[in-house]
């Protein structure tokens, strides 16, 4: 009877420990897989690049890391620029917007390079 009690207590103790550690690992996994910080970083980076650019400049951005982290089920625009607001969206229920203060015309376009890497090209022009 006593031996049985000790065994059950030990099993409960180990199971509780395992549950606890699993929750902790799951929390860290969810946090590190969250693409929101990447959306924020990309939106702010592009806004700053446009702010610092002079009319006539072409900026090419390698999207390899970004596309690796984007939601596979999401097929909308990853980067969009409307007036002076950059929006980056890597999953359906997300998105991060940041404004730039340079009053310039930005004409964005995608192009595919050697079948491996996607680039995003931004052309900064004078406001008409």
Partner 1 sequence: MKKLNCRGGDKIISIYWFFILFLVAGAIAYMAASFYGKPYDVRDAELRILSNKIADCVSSGGYINENILEDNNVNENFEKDFLKRCKLNFDVEDYQNWQDDQFFALVQFYEFDDTKGDLLGEFVDEISVGNVNLRSLCNMDGKNLPICLNRMFYTLDKENHEYIIKILSVVRKTEKNE
* Residue 18: alpha-carbon gap to chain centroid: 31
Task: Candidates 20-28, 58-66, 68-76, 110-118: pick the segment binding partner 1 (CB under 8 A).
Answer: 20-28
Number of Cβ within 10 Å of residue 35's Cβ equals 19
User: Contact between 68 and partner 1 (CB under 8 A)?
Assistant: no
User: Contact between 51 and partner 1 (CB under 8 A)?
Assistant: yes
User: Contact between 120 and partner 1 (CB under 8 A)?
Assistant: no
**Burial label, 26 (beta-carbon count in 10 A; 0-12, 13-18, 19+):** exposed
Residue 87 or 118: the one with the smaller Cβ distance to partner 1 is: 87
Q: In what order do the strands lie in the sheet with 96-99?
A: 79-82, 85-88, 96-99
Compute the least distance from the CB of residue 31 to partner 1, in Å. 5
Binding mask 70-109 for partner 1 (x = CB under 8 A): -------------xxx-----------xxxxxxxx-----
User: Contact between 14 and partner 1 (CB under 8 A)?
Assistant: no
Question: Read out DSSP for 17-39?
Answer: HHHHHHHHHHHHHHHHH--HHHH
Distance CA 119, CA 115 (A): 11
Binding site for partner 1 (CB under 8 A): 13, 16-17, 20, 24, 27-28, 31-32, 34, 36-37, 40-41, 44, 47-48, 51-52, 83-85, 97-104, 127
């Amino acid at each position: 009877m006593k031996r049985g009690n000790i065994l059950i207590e030990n099993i409960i103790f180990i199971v509780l420990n395992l549950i606890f550690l699993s929750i902790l690992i799951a929390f860290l996994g969810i946090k590190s897989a969250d693409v929101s910080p990447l959306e924020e970083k990309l939106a702010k980076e592009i806004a700053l690049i446009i702010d610092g650019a002079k009319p006539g400049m072409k900026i090419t951005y390698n999207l390899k890391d970004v596309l690796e982290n984007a939601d596979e089920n999401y097929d909308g625009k990853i980067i969009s620029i409307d007036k002076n607001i950059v929006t980056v969206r890597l999953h359906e229920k997300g998105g991060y917007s940041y404004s730039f203060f340079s009053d310039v015309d930005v004409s964005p376009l995608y192009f595919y390079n050697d079948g491996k890497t996607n680039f995003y090209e931004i052309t900064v022009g004078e406001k008409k």
